[in-house]
Amino acid sequence: MTEERHLQAVEAAAQGADWSAAWVDALNELELQVDQAEALLRSESPELPAPVAWVPPALPPIPPDLVERARLVHARQLDLAARMTRRMGDLGRQATLAGRIETGAAGRARPVLLDQAC
């Protein structure tokens, strides 16, 4: 949740607004962030969005009718975190292998084969 939305939730609470609606907004925001992260993980683009600081919403305990939805969002977040961790490990292994490939760069000894049979 952005800081602006956080402040809006606090203001709504001060005015006696429906907390259930504030929780729905918070869950919608979390689902959107998970959707965006999943799209980024599927993407082949080297461009990354600028990081955004997350500010936890100032909300009371979640209404019982939204608990299952919150659990589903949390499960998606955990799954996504595991997939991102695997991807980072894969990229690290690829970088290690790429670093071992001989490029002919100056300063590195290159193997030379010499046929002495002639």
Domain assignment present for 106: no
Both structure tokens of 44: 């082949």
Give the residue carrying structure tokens 């999943």: 38
Coil vs helix vs strand at 51 = coil
Residue 39 lies in a domain: yes
40-57 burial code (b ≥16 CB/10 A, e <16):
eeeeeeeeeeeeeeeeeb
Contacts of 62 (CB under 8 A, 6+ apart): 23, 70
Residue 14 counted as domain residue = yes
In a domain, 15, yes or no: yes
pLDDT of residue 31: 95
For residue 35, the model assigns a pLDDT of 94
* 22: in domain: yes
Per-residue pLDDT at 74: 96
- Please report whether residue 114 resides in a domain: no
Number of independent structural domains in the chain: 1
pLDDT at 25: 92
Residue 111 lies in a domain: no
* Structural domain for 81, as ranges: 3-97
pLDDT < 70 stretches in the chain: 1-17, 102-111, 118
Note whether residue 7 is domain-resident.
yes
pLDDT at 23: 92
- Give pLDDT, residue 107: 63
